[in-house]
Amino acid sequence: MKKLQRSITRFFFNNRNRGIPNLMLYIGLGNLLVYIFSLADPSGALVYALSFSRSKIFDGQIWRLFSYIFIPNVGGNAFTQPLFLAIMFFFYFQIGRILEARWGIMKFNCYYLCGVIIMDIAALILGVSANAYYLNLSLILAFATMCPEDRVLLLYIIPFKMKWLAWFYLGSVVLSFFFLAFPYCLFPVVALLNYFLFFGREIQNVLPRMGSYHRSYTPPRQTAAPNPQWADRYRGKDGKKPYRHKCTVCGRTDADYPDLEFRYCSRCKGYYCYCSDHINNHAHIQ
């Protein structure tokens, strides 16, 4: 299993720039266009043509398996809907751009595509309509897992840590069992399946630290500041540059990438080094 995870990680790294860049921007623009056309067509013919329908999909309208992600799902009256829609998708666009920068375009595209496929399977089995509301919310949990201490401005006023938003999201998943009718109460959990597929035990990054559940962190021993240029002046007999740090996942070294940051994971059993692209996103070695 660990070898498979490493192979998948290397695949995403080697193809990180392939795919659809700024995916959330296109999804947000699609939602905006559908919203504008829905105002011009009160009958809702466009929304109906894009919505998920198991009977229509079995009749051959397979575009409904993906087109529902462009249907805006906001509450409120006609006056507040455009404002909520703009704020919501600007926030999703910012999170998507950050995840693309850390993961790469390919991995983020696969994350969202896998979420759509999982939602499709659940909706086909349960015989209900699917929407992208909970899938988009799972982006908040993904970002919070990678950067739990990062702060955002809630409503552009209140500073909020991402892990707090993750707690709120996980709490809403629990409350959905009490306030949503069956089987719609299952969709928040279905959206989490995609998250666990990509993160697994990394959810510990956002859980409250209670008792001995989390391994205590021991700061590394302070050493003299290394000279980043030392490897440029020396080569071994085989012509290769020596190095101090080498990423366990991608194999990059500080000799070949002097501007790249390297860290050692305190949760891996042993002395394993990772670059800045993989220190928060790797399978821990036990």
Query: pLDDT tens digits, residue range 2-48?
Result: 677 778 878 888 888 888 999 999 999 998 898 888 888 878 888 88
Which residue reads 């949760």 in tokens?
267
Mean pLDDT of 222-236: 49
pTM: 0.67
Which residues, in sequence order, are bridge partners of residue 25? none
- Measured CA to CA in angstroms, residue 166 lies from 36, 114, 116, 145, 149 at distances of 32, 21, 21, 8, 11
Q: Residue 224 — very low, low, confident or very high, per pLDDT cuts 50/70/90?
A: very low
Collapsing DSSP to helix, strand or coil, 81 comes out as helix
Residue 216 has pLDDT above 50, yes or no: no
Query: Rounded to an integer, what distance in angstroms lies between the CA atom of residue 227 and that of residue 131?
Result: 53
State phi, psi for 151 to the nearest 5 degrees. Answer: -110, 145
Nearest to 16 by CA among 140, 117, 129, 108: 108
If one counts every other C-beta atom within 10 angstroms of the C-beta of residue 69, the result is 22
Phi, psi of 222 (to 5 degrees): -70, 130
Pairwise pLDDT comparison (263 vs 153), residue with the higher score? 263
Among 10-19, 190-199, 207-216, whose mean pLDDT is lowest? 207-216
Between 220 and 27, the higher pLDDT residue: 27
Cis, bond preceding 183 (omega within 30 deg of 0): yes
pLDDT of 165 above 80: no
Treating both helix axes as pointing N-terminal to C-terminal, what angle do 187-198 and 162-179 enclose, rounded to 10 degrees? 140
What's residue 150's pLDDT? 75
Position 57 confidence tier, pLDDT thresholds 50, 70, 90 = very high
Say how far apart CA 110 and CA 116 lie, in whole Å. 10
Task: Return the pLDDT at 213.
Answer: 41
List pLDDT tens digits, range 268-284.
Answer: 887 788 888 888 878 77
How many helices (H) and strands (E) are present in the chain, helices listed first? 10, 4
Phi-psi sector, 156: left (phi>0), alpha (psi -120 to 50), beta? left
pLDDT at position 63 over 90? yes
Give the model's pLDDT for residue 5: 72
- Tell me the per-residue pLDDT of 110-132, one tens digit each, with 9 for 90 and over: 999 999 999 999 999 988 888 88
Which of 62-76, 114-128, 202-216, 239-253 tops mean pLDDT? 114-128
For the cut 90, the answer to whether the pLDDT of residue 155 exceeds it is no
Q: What is the mean pLDDT of the chain?
A: 79
Q: What is the mean pLDDT of residues 190-211?
A: 72
Q: DSSP alpha helices (H): ranges in the chain?
A: 2-14, 23-40, 45-50, 54-58, 64-67, 81-103, 105-126, 133-146, 162-179, 187-198
pLDDT at res. 238 = 57
